[in-house]
Structure 1
Amino acid sequence: MPRKKIEKISKEVTEKSTKVVKKAEKHSYYFGVGRRKSAVARVKLHLDGDKSFKINNRDIAQYFPGELAKTKYLEPFKATSNLNRFTVEAKIIGSGLNGQLGALVHALGRALDKLDTEKYHLLLRRKGFLTRDPRTRERRKVGTGGKARRQKQSPKR
């Protein structure tokens, strides 16, 4: 084989074999969508701002009162050592308070994963913040008397 052809082929091979690692670009915010039951949470993590935490334009302490809820929604930040680093803006629709809280935690985990995937992905995955909880309301079946699992009463005799 001519020398020029060998050089050309080797050049093509080295160009193709280099692995491209995508880094997250610097954005004004990082976005994440989380779901739980029928609730959907859309979260924006802003790097700049007053470090507040708003849900549907209300303060989070007002939206989710109580210490149990507070420990749950701060868990993704504590796991990644990002407490009080972001201004968080969230829109949550559907379900009840527990479903909405689960959707918020899921969305926060996904947004933090986008911030630095190499650093946080495995940690967030092990803690369960990236896993969608598949449990949803069971549909009502025909002939069950209005409930999902209720059976019609059998005759006594």
Structure 2
Amino acid sequence: MIPGNGQVIINGKPYVEYFCHRQSALSPIAKTFSATKTEGKYDVIATCSGGGVTAQATAVSMGIARAMVRLSEDLKTFLRREGLLTRDPRMKERKKYGLKRARRAFQFTKR
């Protein structure tokens, strides 16, 4: 994140083009800038991989929020209140032994 004119580039593409097939993925990134009133003040160059489109957008949004906290510590409580610094704790549940998947059991046969 560097001072600039508001360009957000993710994996070499502008974020509007990178998330073009999912409009809801654009809102977390825009929300980060609008919440702190810094639209058009910083350029962001980010790389992300894995997960889905929404997860990547949320990850980039959190990265931008963390970078803003490094620039100005005063924004920390405000960004935390907006939920932009909170990590999603949900993880894939592990497969248990004796089961087919995490919770799916093998088919039961009576005979």
State the TM-score bracket (shorter-chain normalisation): 0.7 to 0.9
Task: Give the whole-Å Cα distance in 1 for the aligned partners of 2:81 and 2:6.
Answer: 27
Q: Specify the alignment match of 1:60 in structure 2.
A: 15
Letter in 1 for 2:77: L
Task: Give the whole-Å Cα distance in 1 for the aligned partners of 2:97 and 2:60.
Answer: 34
1:50-104 residue CA offsets vs partner (Å, 9 max, x unmatched) = 5321101111111111432222211111110001111110011221212211211
Fraction of identical pairs, as percent: 34
| Unaligned runs of at least 5 residues, structure 2 | none
Q: Which structure has the highest strand share of the two?
A: 1
Q: Which has the higher contact order (CA 8 A, sep 6+)?
A: 1
Q: Specify the alignment match of 2:39 in structure 1.
A: 83
Task: Give the whole-Å Cα distance in 1 for the aligned partners of 2:104 and 2:23.
Answer: 37
Q: Specify the alignment match of 1:149 in structure 2.
A: 103
Q: Specify the alignment match of 1:139 in structure 2.
A: 94
Structure 1 position 154, deviation (Å): 3.1
Task: Give the whole-Å Cα distance in 1 for the aligned partners of 2:13 and 2:110.
Answer: 56
Aligned CA RMSD, in angstroms, stands at 1.6
Task: Give the whole-Å Cα distance in 1 for the aligned partners of 2:6 and 2:39.
Answer: 10
Q: Specify the alignment match of 2:62 in structure 1.
A: 106
Q: Which has the larger radius of gyration?
A: 1
Task: Give the whole-Å Cα distance in 1 for the aligned partners of 2:108 and 2:12.
Answer: 53
Does the 8 A contact of 2:7 with 2:43 survive in 1? yes
Q: Specify the alignment match of 1:17 in structure 2.
A: none
Structure 1 position 123, deviation (Å): 0.5
Letter in 1 for 2:82: K
**Pairing of 1:15-54 with structure 2 (within 5 A):** 45-48=1-4, 50-54=5-9
Q: For residue 40 of structure 2, give the secondary structure of its aligned residue in structure 1.
A: coil
Q: For residue 31 of structure 2, give the secondary structure of its aligned residue in structure 1.
A: helix
Task: Give the whole-Å Cα distance in 2 for the aligned partners of 1:155 and 1:148.
Answer: 20
| Residue-pair matches, total | 110
